[in-house]
Amino acid sequence: MAKIKELFKDKYNIVFFIILLIAILSRILFLEQFPAGIDQDEAGMMYDAYCMAEYGTDRYLNENPVYLINFGGGQSVMYAAIASLLIRIFGLSVFVIRLPAVIFSIITIILAYLLAKKYIGKKFALVLAFLITICPWHIMQSRWGLDCNLLASFIMISLYTLLNAKKDWHYIVSGIFWGLTLYTYALSYIILPVFFIALCMYLLYVKKITVKQIIITIMPIFILAIPLILLQIVNYFDKGTMKLGFITIPQLYRYRISEIGFSNIWDNLNISNEGNFFQALFLSSGGQSNVLQEFGTVYYVLIPFVIFGFGLVIRETIQSLRKKEFNLKTVFLIQFITISLCTLLFKELQTYKLNPLFIMLLVFASESIMWMYDRRKMLGYFIIIAVSILFIIFEIFYFKNINDKTGIGFNSDFIPLVKHLDNEYPDKEIYVYTDALQEYIYLLLAKQMSPFEFNNTMTMVQLVTDEVNVVKVGRYNFLHYELSTDYVYVIEKDVEFRKENIDKIQNELEEKGFKFEQYNNFLIYTYQE
């Protein structure tokens, strides 16, 4: 109790706890309803997490997989592993699946504040924590379950443990977190080694770390990386799924190594190309479930502050390097530069692929604001008030509009539809035609089907593009069409993605004498003599 009272004697701590409360509320309130529905990749991770929690396998019966197959191209396992632990405690729900994103976003804010407070100053730390709290990108990535949404958080944890390490076992713990970060998102296989090597070179230069301590840190990283190295060997050389003790190294249906290459650099730097680096960094790329175009990743008004702060940090870095003094801002600058260079290698950049960069943008913006505050306090206060007003506007806009902007990727109708069909037509073969992507995954969630039943009753087809589609699970059929008066046909109204095919099927059904009843946004066709 005395320690708690001591904490609240510091006015900076009081302000930080207020910021933290705002952060928690803006991320956890109405978490199931906004965004509404479940994104197909979120649903895939959700079902795999359920299978891992209840059966110890992924949906394809891979025991303790180091990587998820998902819909064929793979998905990192860390988010699902954490979600599976929560499912065991609280059960399966959208709230529980999104909770890891909320928890780790809050951890990021806390650790960013503590690092900045220790190595830069209390005022800078408050500004940085506040900007992360109100940042559109950070709020939105905290409110749905996507594997890559843990990458920025785990990098922050890894940095915090490394920069605060003193004893040998501290470096072992830090190495464990650096190694675990590799399991948050596949792009970390390139990003993390480059950043870590550059960081260690810098820390050696300023004598904040020794060669021995680096070796101690690397050892757990290497051990944890072994299964992922084997994953690349298995998939690159087409070796087939491998068992390694109690874990599984899966063979993917589609190995996406071709998405990385030096040929992508020019396309990503060319500002005339859709999805170029600068668009993905500041505007929005890859759909409005990641960032709302009306506000940008870190608010458009902050872009000049980011650019100016970037210059200030470079200047300060040069000065500190000459003196061989440790500077946390230099660490963030190294992170920004190394990861930016790595992301230029990636094909079809989208905002979520740049997740480890946005906190660095907020560091640069914080530097600008503090520079102005040190010269004219009122100007600094004015900027904080202005972005606070923007935050309020963003929150109102988000809760009012996000469910109209997420598109067909977020499906909110199919799970209740399955429950209705099971009640009304328990013995009929059912054919489903909707705009939803990967409809079958919502069927599995609706039924909470075991992965054993799924594998025993499903039919999968592999396309020329190496993508796979599940076209049948039990009595439910997807993506193909057979006409019989004994079957039930479900057609979604107001479709865009598959409109031509669905219109054709609908006309054929009505010509054969099928009648429909409406359920929510679906037409359910049955034959009536």
- Per-residue pLDDT tens over the stretch 343-383: 999 988 889 999 999 999 999 999 999 999 999 999 999 99
What are the residue ranges of helices labelled H in 324-463? 328-343, 358-375, 377-405, 414-424, 439-447, 451-457
Residues 6+ apart with CB under 8 A from 20: 106, 109, 110, 129, 133
What pLDDT sits at residue 7? Answer: 59
Do 142 and 149 touch, CB atoms closer than 8 A?
A: yes
In Å, how far are 173, 191, 288, 457, 462 from 475, measured between CA atoms?
49, 44, 35, 8, 20
What pLDDT sits at residue 8? Answer: 62
Number of CB atoms found within 10 A of residue 26's CB: 20
In Å, how far are 183, 230, 315, 331 from 227, measured between CA atoms?
10, 5, 41, 29
The letter for the amino acid at 467 is: E
Q: 6 pLDDT exceeds 70?
A: no
State the SS3 of 371-405. Answer: HHHHHCHHHHHHHHHHHHHHHHHHHHHHHHHHHHH
Helix (H, G, I), strand (E, B) or coil at 258: helix
In Å, how far are 160, 329, 472, 524 from 209, measured between CA atoms?
14, 17, 57, 67
Q: Are strands 488-492 and 430-433 parallel, antiparallel or unpaired?
A: parallel
* Alpha carbons 65 and 78: distance in angstroms, whole number: 10
Residues 6+ apart with CB under 8 A from 234: 240, 241, 242, 249, 250, 251
Do 209 and 226 touch, CB atoms closer than 8 A?
A: no
What pLDDT sits at residue 105? Answer: 98
* Alpha carbons 513 and 517: distance in angstroms, whole number: 14
| Average pLDDT score over residue span 398-425 | 90
Specify the range with the lowest mean pLDDT, choosing from 315-324, 339-348, 364-373, 455-464: 455-464
| Average pLDDT score over residue span 162-189 | 97
Would the CA dihedral through 17, 23, 24, 29 be positive or negative? Answer: positive
pTM for this entry: 0.95
Per residue in 107-131, pLDDT (tens digit) is 999 999 999 999 999 999 999 999 9
The letter for the amino acid at 53 is: A
**Tokens 């197959």 correspond to what residue?**
69
Q: 161 pLDDT exceeds 70?
A: yes
Confidence band of 5 (pLDDT split at 50, 70, 90): low
* Alpha carbons 97 and 149: distance in angstroms, whole number: 13
| Average pLDDT score over residue span 468-485 | 92
